[in-house]
């Protein structure tokens, strides 16, 4: 049984590619001496690396000596193959770099309601930058309750979310975005609407029908609701606004969200110097997520707008 001779190049390494680039330059320059300036290395180093390439390939590639430089038949074939390989590598590099410049795909975001009225507009600016960088990117925004946002990111239905920052859930990563202030409001028609803050005691406030959120909040913020007589609940801030605007309930709302109704004379804050809390909002992504260039670009823009 005859044994098969092993292939000289079982695989092409970075070293082989570097040698092939030198070989291409030598051929295009017409010899070792002319290639010195182009390659920035001496003739002896070029000669050594050409010898290394010939040894790696198991082929004689060129004749060099007093008669001058010339390619062997095998050398001409290797040169043509090297041009194809190096051209393919360059195309690959160009296409991959192009992916960074021309994003494609989709971004699915889950947002807690009523962030658009925040004056910082960080999410809006990051989305604008993403669309500028990737005009073909498809963006889906889902306005859902905070608990559903976190669950959606965990199970992969959402790429990223923005939620009130409470205790971190296992499997998720949180990055602080905003801090917003919430005040205690009542609406026209409520018994406290025209009450003087100076004469309004805490006991009277605490006995009014109030609204509690059903989404997770830090313990120090939950204490503000525990002091109230919460007889209704809502899964989001818009639901709380609906109930407050009935004139039958009091409740906390972000001041940026409530400001238009305050300007219209439909809402007022109760004892704003003491009845408030500051809540941090954070972007949330899944730990160990697969690489997603559109998502990473959005997160970079979000971080850059701080």
Q: What is the pLDDT of residue 6?
A: 53
Q: What confidence tier does 119 reach under pLDDT thresholds 50, 70, 90?
A: confident
Q: What is the pLDDT of residue 229?
A: 97
Q: Are 127 and 115 in contact (CB under 8 A)?
A: no
Residues near 295 by Cβ (< 8 Å), separated by ≥ 6?
A: 107, 159, 160, 285, 289
Higher-scoring residue by pLDDT: 195, 116: 195
pLDDT of 241 > 60? The answer is yes
Listed in sequence order, the DSSP H helices in the chain are 14-29, 32-39, 43-57, 73-101, 122-133, 146-155, 202-206, 219-226, 237-244, 255-263, 293-304
Q: What confidence tier does 1 reach under pLDDT thresholds 50, 70, 90?
A: very low
Calpha distance 132→88 (Å, rounded): 29
Calpha distance 17→83 (Å, rounded): 11
Q: What is the mean pLDDT of residues 126-140?
A: 88
Using a pLDDT cut of 90, give the percent of the chain over it: 35
Q: Which domains does the chain have, with CATH numbers?
A: 12-78 (1.10.10.10), 177-278 (3.40.190.290)
Calpha distance 151→169 (Å, rounded): 10
- Helices 255-263/237-244 angle, 10° precision: 30
Q: Which of 33-42, 156-165, 259-268, 283-292 has the highest mean pLDDT?
A: 259-268
Q: What is the mean pLDDT of residues 76-105?
A: 77
Q: What is the pLDDT of residue 114?
A: 76
Q: How many CB atoms lie within 10 A of CB 35?
A: 23
The predicted model scores a pTM of: 0.63
Q: Are 219 and 202 in contact (CB under 8 A)?
A: no
Q: What is the pLDDT of residue 35?
A: 84
Using a pLDDT cut of 70, give the percent of the chain over it: 92
Which of left, alpha, beta for 303 (phi over 0: left; psi -120 to 50: alpha)?
alpha
pLDDT of 97 > 80? The answer is no
Higher-scoring residue by pLDDT: 152, 305: 152
Q: What is the pLDDT of residue 99?
A: 60
Phi, psi of 120, rounded to the nearest 5 degrees: -70, -30
pLDDT tens per residue, range 139-175: 999 888 888 889 899 988 899 999 888 888 889 999 9
Q: How many CB atoms lie within 10 A of CB 254?
A: 20
Q: What is the pLDDT of residue 2?
A: 46
| Average pLDDT score over the chain | 87
Q: What confidence tier does 293 reach under pLDDT thresholds 50, 70, 90?
A: confident
Q: What confidence tier does 100 reach under pLDDT thresholds 50, 70, 90?
A: low
């Amino acid at each position: 049984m005859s044994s098969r001779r092993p292939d000289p190049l079982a695989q092409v390494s970075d070293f082989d590619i570097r040698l092939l680039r030198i070989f291409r330059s030598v051929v295009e320059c017409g010899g070792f001496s002319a290639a010195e300036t182009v390659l920035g290395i001496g003739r002896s180093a070029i000669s050594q690396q050409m010898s290394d390439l010939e040894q790696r390939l198991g082929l004689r590639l060129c004749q060099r000596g007093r008669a001058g430089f010339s390619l062997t038949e095998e050398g001409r074939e290797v040169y043509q193959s090297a041009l194809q390989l190096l051209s393919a590598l360059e195309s690959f590099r160009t296409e991959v770099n192009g992916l960074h410049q021309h994003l494609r795909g989709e971004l699915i975001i889950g947002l807690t309601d009523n962030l658009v009225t925040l004056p910082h507009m960080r999410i809006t600016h990051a989305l604008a930058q993403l669309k500028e960088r990737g005009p073909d990117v498809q963006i889906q925004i889902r306005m859902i309750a905070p608990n559903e946002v976190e669950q959606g990111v965990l199970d992969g239905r959402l790429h990223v979310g923005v939620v009130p920052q409470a205790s971190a859930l296992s499997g998720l990563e949180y990055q602080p975005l905003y801090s917003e202030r919430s005040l205690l409001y009542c609406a026209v028609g409520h018994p406290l609407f025209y009450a003087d803050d100076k004469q309004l005691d805490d006991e009277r406030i605490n006995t009014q029908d109030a609204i509690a959120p059903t989404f997770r909040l830090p313990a120090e913020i939950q204490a503000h609701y525990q002091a109230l007589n919460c007889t209704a609940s809502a899964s989001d801030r818009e639901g709380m606004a609906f109930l407050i605007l009935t004139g039958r309930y009091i409740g906390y709302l972000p001041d940026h969200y409530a400001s238009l109704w305050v300007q219209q004379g439909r809402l007022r804050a109760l004892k704003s110097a003491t009845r408030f809390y500051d809540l941090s909002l954070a972007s949330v992504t899944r730990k160990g997520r697969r690489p997603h260039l559109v998502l990473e670009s959005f997160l970079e823009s979000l971080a850059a707008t701080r």
